[in-house]
Amino acid sequence: MLDFVVIFTKGGVVLWNSNESGKNYASCINSLIRGVILEERNTESKYFEEDHLAVQFKLDNELDVVYAAVFQKVIKLNYLDNFLADMQSAFQEKFSGIAAQERLAIDYEFEQEFRMVLSAAEEASAKQGKAPKAMRSYNESQKSKKTVASMMHDDKKATNTTEKRVNIQESPPASKSQPASPPRTNEDIIQENRRKLREKLTPTKKAAVDVKPTKQSATDREKEKAGKKPRVWDLGGNSKDAVLLDRSKDAPEDVQLQSINNELVGTMQGRIRDLDVESDSDGADSEASDDSEQEEKQQQQQHQRRTQQQQRNQRKAKSGGLLSYFKGIVGAKTMTLNDLQPALEKMRDHLISKNVASEIAAKLCDSVATSLDGKQMGTFDSIANMVKEALTQSLVRILSPKRRIDIIRDALESKRNGRPYTIIFCGVNGVGKSTNLAKICFWLIENDFNVLIAACDTFRAGAVEQLRTHTRHLNALHPAEKHKQRTMVQLYEKGYGKDAAGIAMEAIKYAHDTKVDVVLVDTAGRMQDNEPLMRSLSKLIKVNNPDLVLFVGEALVGNEAVDQLVKFNQSLADYSSNENPHIIDGIVLTKFDTIDDKVGAAISMTYITGQPIVFVGTGQTYADLKAINVNAVVNSLMK
């Protein structure tokens, strides 16, 4: 039944295994480790599937060992939980006496115990399977309970239905009020009230309203006199208006207006800077002196903080070394889940107060609990400290990217291959997709890539014009003369109401033909529940096969982050008919300057997708784009 049972250390060394079929299951176990254990997802049932295989596993924190059993997915094995637990106790009984240094050296003879445990577990499950077939006694039968129980049952039913009714009555207004409330902010209401008040107080207004019709009627009379005339709209699209309407060429006065921000040029060269490093401007820039002083102070403070931290770390290391001599002498205690519960509760609340989505906070704490359960605790360790340490570790692990992110390197590579590097931006409305697209565009230009922006937001009024303005700005900052007569930014637009996927495709083709290095595709913002729009996004991605799909999310978001990302990922996977669909590759976290130390959204988003935060938007100018600094974020979370 079990194809493969293995016991391996957390360091990855196989201690013992039993292989029934003779196949190699290494890749299956490796994807278990990478997909579940390293992602801190070991709470959601210790079960993992790959192809036709399923793995059930158990972590042993006392010996730092993992037990895993691989079996065919189609077979339902209900005794595995008990079996793994029994195997753990048998293994511990036999080998827990071995010193830590010797654990890897010896050969483990476990075959006999394994057979015993396995047959016991199989027997037990077989018994269980057979048991219901035995005849029931009268006492067990339903009839014996009927007289008394039937009444109670009815009662329960009644209460249930009433509850349901209450729910039904309550839910509709709640769902209605939710979508209505966000646009009506306090200010709106106040203004509305004021307007009403004004109307009441000033009767002259009414008079004015009354006056209007008379005026209109007067003009009407005039019109009637002159006979019917064709109505002429301003800028209605005559051939005469073409000159005025044509915005494809920059009017010279526009360019002059826009060249104010020139000091930004050159600040974003090279890789994106880490978050905690203040953007230090060149000395040539004439910035206010107090500004630079502040910066210096901040730098000093940072420096001090860092050295303090290091000292603390060193001290910690020293004390750890000292204490470890005693640890061997004084007896150690093992932690149980019950001991951990209060500390975990506190940590969960703390995380939620830092704006981590509550679901994610709970999952994280569960994961920490499983990683600490059964661990040896020294006499000098307190549970709160252990929990904090473990949580910090798993937060760092979550935020650390699971692959290399170096957009410049990859863009260079595709430049060498003679094709454009394509990035698609998606996200809900109003999170800053276009703004951050412009920032990223600026960063790419500073690093000597020329960029084509594809305006695929064919829906929102003014979206194309916004991008055009950005293009003009960026071209003013980096004129073609400075870059060997290359136009650094171009906009590919086809107006409103067209199919976004088609425009993106044409844009990429155009970029390919004109040797543009990078294509940035701006899509329309969409709510995650809007199925037709999600379908079209999925189509856009499927058709164009971009190198990178970035999800733009704002750092202000709390519990909503989970819903947004899960649904985006889900619909990208569902609606694309591809075998392995292209889902979100990375996250752009915007409005990071507005949240102080409540950086929980970063954790929520990375936890759900398992993808890194590639860019962080930290302000209004083109230069306010940073890379995330894992340690800084974790520090402000654990503060």
Which residues here bind other proteins, judged by CB under 8 A? 8-14, 17, 26, 29-30, 33-34, 37-39, 64, 66, 101, 104-105, 269-274, 277, 280, 299, 302-303, 306-307, 310, 318, 321, 393, 396-398, 400-404, 406, 408-410, 412-413
Shortest gap between Cβ of 26 and other proteins (angstroms)?
Answer: 7
Compute the C-alpha angle 65/70/71, nearest 5°: 155
Helix, coil or strand: residue 543:
helix
Nearer to other proteins, 14 or 190 (CB): 14
Nearer to other proteins, 173 or 270 (CB): 270
133, with CB counted inside 10 A (0-12, 13-18, 19+), is exposed
Nearer to other proteins, 119 or 311 (CB): 311
Q: What is the DSSP string of 373-433?
A: TT-EE-TT--HHHHHHHHHHHHHHHHHS-SS---HHHHHHHHHHTTS-EEEEEE-STTS-H
Shortest gap between Cβ of 8 and other proteins (angstroms)?
Answer: 6
Nearer to other proteins, 105 or 148 (CB): 105
Nearer to other proteins, 170 or 406 (CB): 406
Nearer to other proteins, 352 or 627 (CB): 627
Shortest gap between Cβ of 400 and other proteins (angstroms)?
Answer: 5
Q: What is the DSSP string of 154-165?
A: HHHHHHHHHHHH
Q: How far is CA 253 from CA 249, 256, 259, 261, in A?
A: 12, 5, 10, 15
Q: Kindly state the tokens that stand for 216.
A: 């209109």
Shortest gap between Cβ of 630 and other proteins (angstroms)?
Answer: 8
Shortest gap between Cβ of 341 and other proteins (angstroms)?
Answer: 25
Give the separation between CA 83 and CA 506, rounded to whole angstroms. 58
Shortest gap between Cβ of 270 and other proteins (angstroms)?
Answer: 3
Nearer to other proteins, 272 or 454 (CB): 272
Give the separation between CA 394 and CA 351, rounded to whole angstroms. 13
Nearer to other proteins, 43 or 487 (CB): 43
| Residue 30 burial (CB count, 10 A) | 12
Whether 284 contacts 263, CB under 8 Å = no
Q: Kindly state the tokens that stand for 462.
A: 């003014």
CB within 8 A of 380, min separation 6: which ones?
323, 326, 327
Shortest gap between Cβ of 271 and other proteins (angstroms)?
Answer: 4
H helices of 576-627, in order, are: 600-609
Nearer to other proteins, 12 or 129 (CB): 12
Give the separation between CA 42 and CA 324, rounded to whole angstroms. 30
Nearer to other proteins, 64 or 465 (CB): 64
Give the separation between CA 343 and CA 260, rounded to whole angstroms. 55
Whether 596 contacts 552, CB under 8 Å = no
Shortest gap between Cβ of 385 and other proteins (angstroms)?
Answer: 18
Shortest gap between Cβ of 396 and other proteins (angstroms)?
Answer: 6
Shortest gap between Cβ of 12 and other proteins (angstroms)?
Answer: 4
Whether 443 contacts 540, CB under 8 Å = no
